[in-house]
Structure 1
């Protein structure tokens, strides 16, 4: 199989990031997924314009802080509302 570089009339196409909340959610979720010292498997990201709502659970308070800081570091994020809780593993 041969892979060719994408071109448009001989030029590389310009890519513009849409101003869509789903795109911002994707960027924030990716940032949380790769943030060191953070297991964001149970964290949800919801955007309304440039405002980001973080929900779900993590294991420690330190991870709650790291998630908020990671979300704030993403370009285009305005306010971060952090509603992440601490998971209660082992309680029954």
Structure 2
């Protein structure tokens, strides 16, 4: 019996993978998507704030109304995102 125990027990044998901790349903890339979303939101808010600082005359000159600023910025940001599903935050130059 002792020989069976020695042959079948080793503290160095690989153990089965431990289960994920409760509440850990994060998928690969979830942190990357969260960070990307946070950065894009921050950039959007900075752009909106910068446009709101402009005079009405300047906004009119570039063809914007104050009430259009958030929607225009959102569209501009969507147009600049890569279409290939990349999560890169690097600037893309054409």
Which one has the bigger helix percentage?
2
Task: State whether TM-score is above 0.5.
Answer: no
Tell me the TM-score normalised to structure 1 length. Answer: 0.31
Rg larger for: 2
The TM-score with structure 2 as length reference comes to 0.30
* Structure number with higher strand proportion: 1
